[in-house]
Structure 1
């Protein structure tokens, strides 16, 4: 199977270009040779066939071939606004949320957050998470890479939701007076085109945060009688949302 690589560059048939450093290293590691065929995508839709023209010590030159307008995205745009779990579990969450089709992933801090980042560390983490999303999109066949938003507090996210003030269906994973996810999706305006999902930290949202979410229009939503981990719950929700949306589409 040809290597599948994301390149943040304009692509068109017949164009010759040098691959960005990260993509070039990938091709070098896989020991591709001139004449080998690669698959490239730039997040603008579909993917492109490319042929290796030249392999240097650290650079790779390719020629872009035909475009395949293949579409593998969900029929609705899902923003996952998740309070970051401790350790490196958010890395894993980013990878799996990308595979499951999230369009935007917004890292949040809340009252009960274990992981708290200052501005400098947050910027470094954001770049690291964006690279994880790129790698996951390359692996799973997505033609668009989810955008990793800036790290901020839950209060800031509620005051100014990422993506602007446009009306979307907003859900908050909760154990307090919540309705099942299937019921929330069935009650949404059809066809559902965008959804914002809030997911809490270890220990869940505080009572004050639960109230703030409700005031902001987030509907309390449950995934069932079991208590899932902070990194498991949003992925379970994404999986169900993706399956339901794909069947409905």
Structure 2
């Protein structure tokens, strides 16, 4: 059954005009009155059966049916702060991280970042990545859409409430000697923030700043992985039950 993100209040046994984005997707699939779909609002584990009741030229009406609470998210919340890889690799990273169940994504500009944006261009790029996350949730069955936060520099973010939180697990992906294997993180439900660099990794100065802010160096092993591969490998390990 096709799934659609619906940024509107969903209530069983009510009629609803779909928001523009969801309506457009229904029309692209050439669905017809009587066809069944699934709706979710991205804010909870709830999803709703719905039936298309009208197809207009630019609008779609549905009848919202039964609500189901379906837990498809990892038991532990994993938050990713990442030095943005260049070109389309960040799109791919956002998509795959969403499929794996990331709770939020913080795009960072670092010393070695190729992608450095500000103002309206940065806002548009973040909005694009948020739409990528929505599409990934529609595809994979996730009901909680991860938040893609506004871009920040690493220095700015390390001073933010997120980086300075009392979360017991704050990890820095690093190749430095003595780093703890990511796979050895104790099991549990405590949230995790993990910080990963762009192409070329974080500089020594940036790693030192992250450690001073309370992040612990963590390793995926001796091999040097691409920026997007490293982030997803860590996320895969951290979301295991």
TM-score where L is the length of structure 2: 0.96
Q: How does 1:82-93 map to 2 (within 5 A)?
A: 82-93=82-93
1:15 maps onto 2:20 in alignment: no
1:163–1:228 distance in 2 versus 1, CA, 3 Å: closer
In 2, distance between residues paired with 1:164 and 1:56? Answer: 50
> Who is 1:126 aligned against?
126
Q: What number of residue pairs does the alignment pair up?
A: 239
SS in 1 for 2:90: helix
- Is there any run of 5+ residues in structure 1 with no aligned partner, and where? none
1:144 maps onto 2:144 in alignment: yes
Q: How does 1:163-182 map to 2 (within 5 A)?
A: 165-177=165-177, 178-182=179-183
SS in 2 for 1:11: coil
CA contact (8 A) 1:13 1:65 kept: yes
In 2, distance between residues paired with 1:91 and 1:150? Answer: 15
1:214 maps onto 2:214 in alignment: no
CA contact (8 A) 1:168 1:196 kept: no
SS in 1 for 2:193: strand
Q: Deviation per CA, 1:109-153, whole angstroms, max 9, x where unpaired?
A: 111111111222110001000000000000000011000001001
In 1, distance between residues paired with 2:143 and 2:10? Answer: 13
1:230 to 204, 207, 227: 227
SS in 2 for 1:212: helix
Q: How far 1:191 moved relative to its partner?
A: 2.6
Q: Deviation per CA, 1:187-207, whole angstroms, max 9, x where unpaired?
A: xxx633200010001111111
Q: How far 1:168 moved relative to its partner?
A: 3.4
In 2, distance between residues paired with 1:165 and 1:239? Answer: 23
Q: What is the root-mean-square deviation of aligned Cα atoms in Å?
A: 1.3
Q: How far 1:93 moved relative to its partner?
A: 0.4
> Who is 2:154 aligned against?
154
> Who is 1:105 aligned against?
105
CA contact (8 A) 1:107 1:149 kept: yes
